[in-house]
Structure 1
Amino acid sequence: MNSALFIRWLTSQLLLALAEPSVLVLDNAPYHTQLTEESRCPTTATSKVEIVKWLECRRIPSPPHSTRPELLLICKENRPEPWYTVDDIIRSWGHEVVRLPPAHPELNAIEQVWGCMKRHVCCSLQWFTRADLQARLQEAKLIATREVWASAVRRSRAIEEEYWSADNIHEGVDPVIIIIDSDDEDDLCVDSAMD
């Protein structure tokens, strides 16, 4: 899979099939994370001329005789927020995008469904022929029932809840503000008058 194929499938198949506004959950596969031109930043493979041009286009000052590594450091310090081509396409069709955190496939229900399908193919493959593989793949598609999907979604949600609980994150916690008294720098005052 690559970005071009994914975008073609997205626009010619998936987005056409969604009748009402939906939320699409994307992981960090390379074909989901192609940056828009505006959010790309020069890399070590970028020529010095292109780096200078990138900085000038964004009106980012740089010393006149900077070396390439110095210019790359300036670019890194001024790196734009990542914005993905796929997200723009999905939003232009009236849908929303939720991106999963990197390295957390357990939060993505489709990974669990793929796992069931892969296990079926591995366990039932009798002959290492293309015909047998295709037959096992067709059977595996039948495994991805509504019930299997619902179970995978429930499991992903339960894991997410476990993470929230383990992080001990609570919504609605009152802020604590620490004010440093300008007269005496040694005294710290906790202002809880914000209640």
Structure 2
Amino acid sequence: MVKAELLGLINTTQSEKIYTIDELLKGAGHTVLRLPPYHPDLNPIELVWANIKNCLARDHINATLDEKITILTRLFSEFSAKQWQKCDDHVQKNEQEYWNHDMRYDTVMDEFIINLQDDSDSSSDNSESSDSEDNMSE
């Protein structure tokens, strides 16, 4: 099966989980989009968090735990919309690269699919090759 067929099979056999928080957000007019698990490169918050952790480690290595909590709160509040946009743009670039790679992979894999159905063209081709192979062995 190709990916599209496998995905269709998954979608027909799996029931979607309903989360209370999703229902609350829908009631407030929001749309919930799930991020793929185990793909930090497709999640902008991972880039934000990495940036903030690096800043904390670089500039505040000797701070106490209480000081670090205060510093983290400040760092998150100071993280600008422009910085968030850069992280989001980077994730969108990654998504596009994944999409392009996936499409190339599907195209190549489609070329390797072998049809095992018996049709008259392939059986006549096979019998001809068998005959010529027999003649060659004589």
Which bracket does the TM-score occupy, shorter chain normalised? 0.5 to 0.7
Residue equivalent to 2:52: 117
Q: TM-score, normalised by structure 1?
A: 0.43
CA RMSD of aligned residues (A): 2.6
- Counterpart of 2:32 in 1: which secondary structure? strand
1:85 aligns with 2:20: yes
The answer to which structure, 1 or 2, has the higher relative contact order (CA under 8 A, 6+ apart) is 2
1:125-136 alignment, distance < 5 Å? 125-136=60-71
Q: What is the Cα deviation at residue 99 of structure 1?
A: 0.7
Residue equivalent to 1:96: 31
Distance 1:131 1:82 in 2: 38
- Counterpart of 2:33 in 1: which secondary structure? strand
The correspondence for 2:118, drawn from 170, 176, 186, is 186
The runs of 5 or more residues in structure 1 that have no matched partner are 1-77, 170-184, 189-195
Change (3 A) 1:80 1:135: closer
Q: What is the Cα deviation at residue 109 of structure 1?
A: 1.0
Percent of paired sites with the same residue: 31
Q: What is the Cα deviation at residue 79 of structure 1?
A: 6.6
* Aligned length, in residue pairs: 97
More helix per residue: 1 or 2? 2
Q: What is the Cα deviation at residue 158 of structure 1?
A: 0.2
The runs of 5 or more residues in structure 2 that have no matched partner are 1-12, 105-116, 121-138
The correspondence for 2:95, drawn from 135, 155, 160, is 160
More strand per residue: 1 or 2? 1
Higher Cα radius of gyration:
2
Which one-letter code corresponds to 1:122 in the other structure? A
